[in-house]
Amino acid sequence: MPNPLRTLVLCCFYLLLLLPAKAQRLPGYSIINYNSDNLLPQNSINDMAFDSNGFLWLATEMGMVRFDGQHFREYNMANSPALYTNRCCLVNAVKGKIIMVPGFSSSQVLTVTADYCLKADSLLSANPYQCNHWNNCTFYYDHIYKKWGRDSTAFKGLLRKFNLNGDLITENERLAYVRKDSNYYYLNDNTADVQLLNEIDGHALKIQFMVGGFYFFVDRQNRFYAYQQGHWQKNITCSDRLSKIFNQAESGAYPSQYTVKAIRDDNHTFLVYKGNILVLQIRNGILDYEVLAANTTIKNINGIIYDQVHGALYIGTATSGLYILKLHQFQPLSFTSDHYAINSLYAQVEISAGNILTSSGVLNRNSVLNRATPGLYDRPALLRSSDGYIWYSSYDSLKKIDTGLRKPVTVQYLGGWLMAIIEAANKDLLYCTPNKLFRRRGENATLLLEMPEYIQVIREMGPNDLWIGTSSGLFSYDLVKGKLRRLGLPDAAVRAIYKATDGSVWIGTYGQGFYKYDQGRYHKMPVDAANNLASVHCFLEDGQGYFWLPTNKGLYRVAKRELDSYASGNKEEVFYYYFDKSAGFITNEFNGGCTPCGIVMRDGRFSLPSLEGLVQFRPDSIRMMPPEHPIFIDRIFTDDKSVRSDNHFEKRQNSGPLVFAIASPYFGNPANLHLEYSIPQLDDKWRPVSADGRLELTGLGKGRYTLIVRKHEHYGRYSYKRVQWTILPFWYETIWFLLLVAIAGIGILSYFFWLRYAREAKRAKLLEQKVAERTRELSASNLVKGKMIALILHDLRSPIRFLHLMATHIYENYQKVSPRELDETLFRFRNATHDLNQFTQDFLTWTNAQKEGFVIRKERIVLREIVEGIVSLYQPAAAIRNNEVLNLVPADITLVSDTNILSLIIRNLADNANKYMFKGEITMDAIQDAAAVRIIITDTGKSMDRELVAEILNNTYQMDKNSHGFGYKIILELLARIQGELYIDRPGETGNRITLTFRQDQSG
């Protein structure tokens, strides 16, 4: 049924009541059905009630269900031990506290704890004289039973099995009306009185119900009775239209046969008849009704709760689950056409009360049908000027027409669509095409400006100051000076410019958000979580200080003071209240980029263009449903267990994820419920709670944590809920273990320190020994070097003395001797000095090599070459003593030894032989066999004493520089260092033979 027929439907309601209900779209309401196919655990709802925190409780055939507007929580025998059956019949709210009676006519009452667990209430269950029936509160009759219960025949057996009587209608916990067969009684347990209602005694019941404190009775002859406190109220009557319903209603032996059903919540009584839901009211002594929902297809209704403040109906059924009906607060207005372009509207103007001119024609919300007349008016711009004319464009021309729309007049050829048109304060008309700006003063039109940017909106901001919104930012044009200047936002497509009642300026863009302009600065406003406010088509300001902002994805209401505060530097989150098509739109997509972008009608209604016609509403009549209920973290799963949210708890690290169930009852648009959480121990960020309300944490290390959940209620105001817990350390992270490790570590370190100390001490001792040994060796080495140097210097005396003598001889005789003799003498002198020079060079090289200590440097030596050098060195000195030195060493004998030491030893031995012999012969020979190399030095001089030889060979000889054996002590020491042996004997009766033996393994 099209929306314009709604008024007709209500006017013809009497006729509709006579017709069978049809399955069709429910007019005037949005409807949501929760059943077993979409979240509701079970379709059979027997009863329902709201608690003081805003949760809706449902008694079903498979347990109790708690609903927060988005999520269902099940309570059954498996997870709630207090629940003794899953077939739950009754749930009531007593002063906000939920009580439930799972079994039919049972006195075992359950209640809900603060942490939302079920428990048996021993106090409420203690009274056995109580009735818990559907559609009634608990009725206590202990006083009546005490007075009358002993007489089983009293009141025709009324009190026998009284708790099973299904015809009880309660007024409160101690007052009730009841039927027993064809007798009717008023029960007052406060006074223990049972009063027979004589006026209806014996009547056949058709329907009975309570409205407020009045009891109403209709019999099968359609006679109507009203009672208050047991007294017949003759002055209370029934309206004619309600009487017709009772007359047409059918009854039977069982309630399921009734065609009219009375159901009540805490504050209302409803009649359900042929798919119509009526709320009963007493006005001026007449019982009448109002239609809440007409012609619904909802069947088998067991419970209704009417939230009159927010215009919502909660309907529980026996077969199809839960229905939530919300009254439409916005009225869509569209043409009777299926063509999308007809109802995709932009500019609009009210030409008379309730009549709105659009590009497709005139719309009137009171008309049954609105027929389109497209093609006459272009979409972007319409204006009703102060002289009463309507200005518009059509087919590239500017036109005007009277409000009767009878005489259109072409005023000016534009060459394109009229994009915007306004009337200035001085009555000039300012208008534009996409790239040209015009001014019309009287009958004269003037082209003011051409610009490359695409013009989308113009607005007079002050005398001669025109603001121009374009596809490339905002400009200001001086109407007197004709100067254009850029105001900013070069990257923004400006589509809305609004000057608020306080003079503040607001800019809406397409895709770049919206701004407040203040003294040359643009303050960008925060957008909503879904970023829908990136495109704001219009600003409509109501009388309560709110902006209404249409977007491509719904409509927002925001307090202007919140935006002003944000622009002044207070960066609290702005609260945007969101409406989508469930509030009455046909589509969420509003249109913009037109002039005007929206209008305020004469009766105060706002009218906004959309993709599916106009959306109209009274801003001061729109009911808000702010998210004001508390936050609950009522289930915390850890280690496969559920713990209470108000207690600090502990969790092992390796026991799986930690899961929080977060809820805050809210039955409005879910987009208006903003739940965020933060864990300060991890970071300072706020993150949105997931849509299913579950928060799963993994990988938390040991330590104390706090979960903070907050809900944005309005600007700068949040409600909070906190939960603390401790993640236990692993065994190797405990204090005792760490202390043990520390002690063990200290012990191990101490042990290693002791070992290291002992080792270092030992190393120090060894080093000390090595240093001492090295010192001794160095001292010995230095001593040997000193002795060698002394010996070498001693050996040099003879050659040097010889050279001195030879030089003296040459000096004294060079003029006397023959040239040949002189040449021979000089030749010998040259050779002697050459050998002496070579000897000193070798000695210097050896001395430099011994700077770091006495070192043996072995190499392979050709023995004859060594001996030849010695012979050459000592031959002149030997000649002075008429001695002859012979080199008899074979050329093929080699020896591995230290060249300098070996040469020193042989020189010394040759020098000794020369010094102690005159006119003799010194021979140097060598023998090599498989065992050793022997160097033999023989002289023909005087033989050494046998005692001296023995002392030399035994190394007991004491050196005396004046004695015959000078240097043998050093010779023996040096010979020992190059692994040589010394032997002295006589070759005959006279002379000396010294043998130096080197074992073959040393000679190589």
Q: What is the CA radius of gyration of the chain?
A: 62
Q: What percent of the chain has pLDDT over 90?
A: 60
Q: What is the pLDDT of residue 792?
A: 66
Q: Is residue 634 pLDDT above 90, yes or no?
A: no
pLDDT digits (tens, 9 = 90+) for 12-45: 333 333 333 332 346 789 999 999 998 898 899 9
Q: Are the CB atoms for 742 and 750 separated by under 8 Å?
A: no
Q: What is the pLDDT of residue 23?
A: 29
Which architecture characterizes domain 632-733 according to CATH?
A: Sandwich (2.60)
Average pLDDT over residues 693-720: 89
Average predicted confidence (pLDDT) for the chain:
87
Q: Are the CB atoms for 285 and 216 separated by under 8 Å?
A: no
User: End-to-end distance of the chain based on CA atoms, in angstroms?
Assistant: 126
Q: Are the CB atoms for 543 and 519 separated by under 8 Å?
A: no
Q: What is the pLDDT of residue 639?
A: 66
Q: What is the pLDDT of residue 94?
A: 87
Average pLDDT over residues 325-336: 94
Confidence grade of residue 798 (pLDDT, cut at 50, 70, 90): low
75 Cα distance to chain centroid: 33
Q: Is residue 481 pLDDT above 70, yes or no?
A: yes
Q: Rounded to an integer, what distance in angstroms lies between the CA atom of residue 895 and that of residue 884?
A: 26
Structural domain spans, the chain:
332-620, 632-733, 776-1003
Q: What is the pLDDT of residue 723?
A: 92
Q: What is the pLDDT of residue 12?
A: 37
Q: How many CB atoms lie within 10 A of CB 100?
A: 25
Q: Which of 842, 854, 1002 is nearest to 928 (CA)?
A: 1002
Q: What is the pLDDT of residue 286?
A: 97
Average pLDDT over residues 693-699: 91
Which architecture characterizes domain 332-620 according to CATH?
A: 7 Propeller (2.130)
CATH topology of domain 776-1003: Heat Shock Protein 90 (3.30.565)
Confidence grade of residue 1004 (pLDDT, cut at 50, 70, 90): very low
Two domains, one topology: 332-620 and 776-1003: no
pLDDT higher for 189 or 957? Answer: 189
Q: Rounded to an integer, what distance in angstroms lies between the CA atom of residue 214 and that of residue 236?
A: 10
Q: How many CB atoms lie within 10 A of CB 988?
A: 9
Q: Which of 287, 129, 141, 137 is nearest to 207 (CA)?
A: 287
pLDDT digits (tens, 9 = 90+) for 637-660: 776 667 766 678 888 888 788 899
Q: What is the pLDDT of residue 179?
A: 95
Q: What is the pLDDT of residue 257?
A: 62
Q: Rounded to an integer, what distance in angstroms lies between the CA atom of residue 842 and that of residue 850?
A: 12
What share of residues in the chain are helix, strand, coil (percent, to 5)?
A: 25, 35, 40
Q: Are the CB atoms for 530 and 553 separated by under 8 Å?
A: yes
pLDDT digits (tens, 9 = 90+) for 238-277: 999 999 999 988 866 555 567 899 999 999 999 999 999 9
Q: What is the pLDDT of residue 298?
A: 95
Q: Which of 208, 229, 227, 204 is nearest to 217 (CA)?
A: 208
Q: Rounded to an integer, what distance in angstroms lies between the CA atom of residue 542 and that of residue 28?
A: 24
pLDDT digits (tens, 9 = 90+) for 710-769: 999 876 788 999 999 998 888 887 888 888 988 998 999 999 889 988 888 888 888 888
Average pLDDT over residues 68-90: 92
Q: What is the pLDDT of residue 290?
A: 96
Angle at 523 between CA 717 and CA 711, to 5 degrees: 20
Q: Rounded to an integer, what distance in angstroms lies between the CA atom of residue 243 and that of residue 226?
A: 14
Q: Phi and psi of 8, rounded to 5°?
A: -65, -35
Q: How many CB atoms lie within 10 A of CB 979?
A: 16
- Structure tokens given for 502: 């306080």
Q: Are the CB atoms for 334 and 357 separated by under 8 Å?
A: no
pLDDT higher for 781 or 194? Answer: 194
Q: Rounded to an integer, what distance in angstroms lies between the CA atom of residue 925 and that of residue 935?
A: 6
Q: Is residue 953 pLDDT above 90, yes or no?
A: no
Q: Rounded to an integer, what distance in angstroms lies between the CA atom of residue 478 and that of residue 188?
A: 84
Q: Phi and psi of 148, rounded to 5°?
A: -115, -10
Confidence grade of residue 910 (pLDDT, cut at 50, 70, 90): confident
pLDDT digits (tens, 9 = 90+) for 114-138: 889 999 988 888 889 998 888 888 9
Average pLDDT over residues 139-153: 92
Secondary structure of 656-685 in the HEC alphabet?
CCEEEEEECCCCCCHHHCCEEEECCCCCCC
pLDDT digits (tens, 9 = 90+) for 358-377: 999 999 988 888 999 887 88
Q: Rounded to an integer, what distance in angstroms lies between the CA atom of residue 489 and that of residue 473?
A: 5
Q: What letter does residue 381 receive in the DSSP assignment? A: B
